[in-house]
Amino acid sequence: MIEVRWHARGGQGAVTSVELLAVAAISAGNYAQGFPSFGPERRGAPIAAFSRIDQKQIKVRSGIYEPDVVIVLDASLLSLVNVIDGLKTGGKLIVNTPKTPDEIKKDLNFNGIVATVDGTGIARKEMGVPIANTTMIGALLKVIGVMGLEAMKESVEHRFGRIAQKNLTAMKRAYEEIKISN
Amino acid sequence: MAKRVGMEVAVAVAEAVGQCDIDMAAVYPITPQSHIAEHLSDLVADGKIDAEFVTVESEHSAMSAVIGASGTGARVYTATSSQGLMLMHELLPIASGMRLPIVMGIANRAVSGPLNILNDHSDIMPQRDSGWISIFVENGQEAVDVSIQAFKIAEHKDVNLPVCVNIDGFQLTHMVEPLEFPDQELVDKFLPPRVPYATLHPSKPVTMGAFAMSDYFTEMQKAKDEALINSKKVILEVWDEWAKMFGRAYKPVETYKADDAEILMLTMGSMGETAEMAIDALRAKGVSVGLIKLRLWRPFPFEEIKAVLKAAKKLIVTDRAVSFGGPGGPVFSEIKSALYSEARRPAIYNYIIGLGGRDVTVKDFIGMVEKVIPCSAEKTVDTYEYWGVRES
């Protein structure tokens, strides 16, 4: 089972992302959960959301405390939230930033695997908005590798209709442009 | 077999209710039930289901509206949580007293105070004696299935009682997970149109909700009690039919690796599958432990509970609510009274867990079992413990 914790600010679409990912993973024949951190959320405040994907039925319904992957949609959170809290040994950190993985490693004094991509830059270019939640799904899929980008098509089209293609293009760019450290 | 789809459970509950040919719904939105209200009103507004969605100004009005509509013979639905359910409280025994087959989804949430919006069972417990059939679900699939079954149970001619479906708020309602929806054709076959015992109609006047003083009140109460007790037979029949038609079996009391277990743990609601993982981990270490999952809260399944507890030496009962100043959690209290007349009964331990959304993990369940392993099995402990509570 792969467990992912998402960090974002309220309104940046992390909850939408965990839903899109879970729906797509289930359509592709996996078992999955997608859920927000339970409770009241405020626009702009730091929030978390969670994904679980497995090949077999997922029974556990408690929170995720030791994720395999942490994905950060807003790099300004790196100085506010301990995003690597509980990250498994050998776990991976993905950050939406124009910085290199090595720069992030240095910033956080973190020695594990870091992957970076300028998701906001891509989203701005491809969709005209600085909202990178769908873009960063591409980055996540590249890192976790449980399914290909094509698995996202149906759930993104269902959710976004005529602007789906722009989201898919941005997602593909993040998939291709992400840089992963050793 | 239907295809598995990923969907948020609250939305799925509204979809399932939408499959039930309802005539009318009155749902006042409240966290964490809101997505049921929103999606059901979408289904009506988009013309996907042919029903009236009555907008109301409170849960008291929502329940009043469904009582009135149900009286006319309509198939009705409402849903609420926490404070909303507390506001409905006054009307709940009226709905059952009038023998109206209303179905209500409850996205279980803690009641104030202090104000909290997260899950526990403190909203349904004060409604226990309202004369409603009360069923707990464990996962999204059960939320879908039981929301459909509830209409068939409620409307059965030998039942005519309201049914509430308890769906843990957030833990279930806000989870996107894999679900199968039954084929509409099969649902139509399973759930034919309601045949009401009597209907309110201007051209054929009847009295419903009549006045009854000491001359009839006791008899009315006994009739309601018997109807609720007897509803178990129908519930079992409906679950049998469901298993035959849709392949998923339901029982008032579910067990997991319980047959030969010396220690049993009991859960109700969404924690069951997490507890199963603890049972697996403990079994792997050689601990003789199993799980009981209580699905039917009212009518309380006394015989089934006695049967599954026959051989166990120790029983851990978990409660997601408190009976303040009482004998322990409400489930604990019920289990103890079920066992009082038994010659052989396990020692019982009661843990209050998961209040106001506090997470309960596999480790917590393992901890509870490990704590009772060294206890003497000779006597029941008459106190209860708040698991993981901070005392300083």
pLDDT tens per residue across span B24-44: 999 999 999 999 999 999 999
The one-character DSSP state at B5 is E
A149 vs A168: CA distance, rounded Å: 8
Write down the mean pLDDT value for chain B.
96
Q: B354 to chain A: nearest residue by CA?
A: A62
Tokens of B250: 């339901």
Domains (ranges, CATH) in chain B?
A: 4-246 (3.40.50.970), 253-386 (3.40.50.920)
**Among A35-44, A148-157, B156-165, B329-338, which stretch is predicted with the lowest mean pLDDT?**
A35-44
Give the pLDDT mean for A169-179.
98
User: Are the C-beta atoms of B233 and B159 separated by less than 8 Å?
Assistant: no
Kindly report the nearest CA distance between residue A154 and chain B, in angstroms.
12
Outline where A7-131 has alpha helix (H).
14-27, 101-108, 119-127
Q: What pLDDT, in 10s, does the model give residues A49-84?
A: 999 999 999 999 999 999 999 999 999 999 999 999
Phi, psi dihedrals of residue B358, rounded to the nearest 5°: -65, 130
Q: What pLDDT, in 10s, does the model give residues B129-175?
A: 999 999 999 999 999 999 999 999 999 999 999 999 999 999 999 99
Instruction: State the sign of the Cα–Cα–Cα–Cα dihedral A134, A139, A145, A151.
Output: positive
Spell B213-223 as b/e; 16+ CB within 10 A means b.
Answer: eeeeeeeeeee
Pick the closest to residue B316 from B266, B255, B363 (CA basis): B266
Contact B6 A62 (CB under 8 A): no
Contact B6 A61 (CB under 8 A): no
Contact A59 B117 (CB under 8 A): no
- Looking at this predicted complex, what is its ipTM? 0.96
Pick the closest to residue B232 from B173, B310, B295, B275 (CA basis): B295
Give the pLDDT mean for A133-151.
96
Residue B254, beta-bridge partner list:
B293
Residue B38 burial (CB count, 10 A): 15
Residue B180 burial (CB count, 10 A): 18
CA distances from A54 to A141, A175, B365 (A): 14, 21, 23
pLDDT for B380 equals: 67
Q: What pLDDT, in 10s, does the model give residues A87-133?
A: 999 999 999 999 999 999 999 999 999 999 999 999 999 999 999 99
B246 vs A30: CA distance, rounded Å: 22
Counted across chains A and B, CB pairs separated by less than 8 A come out at 73
pLDDT band of residue B376 (cuts 50, 70, 90) is confident
pLDDT for B381 equals: 73
Whether pTM > 0.95 for this model: the answer is yes
Residue B293 has pLDDT above 60, yes or no: yes
B76 vs B295: CA distance, rounded Å: 23
User: Are the C-beta atoms of A21 and A144 separated by less than 8 Å?
Assistant: no
| Residue B32 preceded by cis peptide, ω within 30 | yes
Pick the closest to residue A14 from A162, A135, A151 (CA basis): A135
SS3 state at B107: strand
Q: What pLDDT, in 10s, does the model give residues A20-34?
A: 999 999 999 999 999
Contact B117 A35 (CB under 8 A): no
Kindly report the nearest CA distance between residue A62 and chain B, in angstroms.
5
pLDDT for A105 equals: 97
pLDDT band of residue B1 (cuts 50, 70, 90) is low
pLDDT for B370 equals: 97
Beta-strand pair A69-72/A2-9? parallel
Residue A182 has pLDDT above 90, yes or no: no
pLDDT band of residue B267 (cuts 50, 70, 90) is very high
B-chain residues near A60 (CB < 8 A): 273-274, 277, 362
Chain B touched by A110 (CB under 8 Å): no
B-chain residues near A52 (CB < 8 A): none
Q: Which residues 139-168 on chain A approach chain B with CB closer than 8 angstroms?
A: 155
Closest in B175, B271, B361 to A33, CB measured? B175
Residue B7 has pLDDT above 80, yes or no: yes
Please count the residues of chain A: 182
Tokens of B387: 């698991």
Kindly report the nearest CA distance between residue B340 and chain A, in angstroms.
34
Kindly report the nearest CA distance between residue B169 and chain A, in angstroms.
9
pLDDT for B254 equals: 98
Q: A57 to chain B: nearest residue by CA?
A: B178
pLDDT for A40 equals: 79
What are the helix and strand counts (H, E) for chain B?
Answer: 12, 15
A43 vs A129: CA distance, rounded Å: 17
A146 vs B6: CA distance, rounded Å: 17
Pick the closest to residue B76 from B54, B58, B57 (CA basis): B54
Contact B274 A59 (CB under 8 A): yes
A-chain residues near B174 (CB < 8 A): 35-36, 38
User: Are the C-beta atoms of A73 and A14 separated by less than 8 Å?
Assistant: yes
B284 vs B129: CA distance, rounded Å: 41
B42 vs B335: CA distance, rounded Å: 42
Spell A92-101 as b/e; 16+ CB within 10 A means b.
Answer: bbbbbbebeb
B-chain residues near A51 (CB < 8 A): none
CATH of A2-180, one of 3.30.390.30, 3.40.920.10, 3.40.50.970, 3.50.30.30: 3.40.920.10
What string of DSSP letters covers B293-318?
EE-EEES--HHHHHHHTSS-SEEEEE
User: Are the C-beta atoms of A12 and A129 separated by less than 8 Å?
Assistant: no
Give the pLDDT mean for B371-388.
86
Spell B307-336 as b/e; 16+ CB within 10 A means b.
Answer: ebbeebbbbbbbbbbbbeeeebbbbbbbbb
Pick the closest to residue B314 from B233, B249, B372 (CA basis): B372
CA max distance for chain B? 71
Contact B175 A31 (CB under 8 A): no
Kindly report the nearest CA distance between residue A131 and chain B, in angstroms.
22
